[in-house]
Amino acid sequence: MLTDAPTATFLGVTFANLSFDETIEAVKHRSRSEHFSYVVTPNVDHVVLLHESAEKGRVSQFRDAYDSADLRLCDSRVLQLLARFRGKKLDVVTGSDLTALLFEGGALAGAQVALIGGDLSMGKALRARFPSVQIEQHVPPMAILSDPDAVDRIEAFVRATRAQYVLLAFGAPQSEIVAARLKAAGGIGGVGLCIGASIEFLLGRKSRAPSWMQRARLEWAFRLMSEPRRLWRRYLVIGPRIFLLTFSRKA
């Protein structure tokens, strides 16, 4: 863990119970380290995937990456509610909100940031909006883990930038597995954050659910309505498996 934060284990994942302010301080502290560490933000999809058969694709690598993560933050109010039913307390620190606070709160001012993912216009937009942040961007191919050279190029890019913050702006399980690779490589400092689509929300390319929907734990419904063709399977097929996991196994 990045700090001696209180933790709670739910469905096999040990979550750190931190406030946003405590999380930002922990991340800032590790950004100055000579040894690379990384942050993951478990949501319903991640937890379901962690319980799939290890024979399915890269599940075992994903589990190893989660085990190696230095901070696991609950990204889902649905997970928080289900944990409460099983007598567990989880504090929610969403990846999208954490990313926004790091940029907008000034934590990244003057820092060297390696942005991995997105398109070139994303990097340009970020630099224009946050000129005090030193942003260098690398755009990898879509199927990163299917191309060993792509992972090597990411590692070389991170080494060359000597970034304090490494923002992995692509989805699970790829971002977590790449982060674990960077940590295992050695000789890399700073802190990595697996942020998925957080930059798209920050720049307004995608819309967040209204506050009332977030409080009502309905952000998933807003996202489903916003991108039904892309997200229907995630929220209507994969996501509901979390209820079986919650009530059929030891929490």
pTM of the predicted protein model: 0.92
Residue 226 lies in a domain: yes
Q: Which long-range contacts (CB under 8 A, 24 or more apart) does 150-153 make?
A: 151/178, 151/181
125 within domain boundaries: yes
Per-residue pLDDT, 173: 94
Total number of domains in the chain: 1
Residue 225 lies in a domain: yes
In a domain, 2, yes or no: no
Residue 181 lies in a domain: yes
Enclosing domain of residue 111: 7-248
User: Residue 1 falls within a domain, yes or no?
Assistant: no
* Domain-embedded: residue 220: yes
Q: Is residue 211, in this structure, part of any structural domain at all?
A: yes
pLDDT tens digits, residue range 153-207? 999 999 999 999 999 999 899 999 999 999 999 999 999 999 999 999 999 998 8
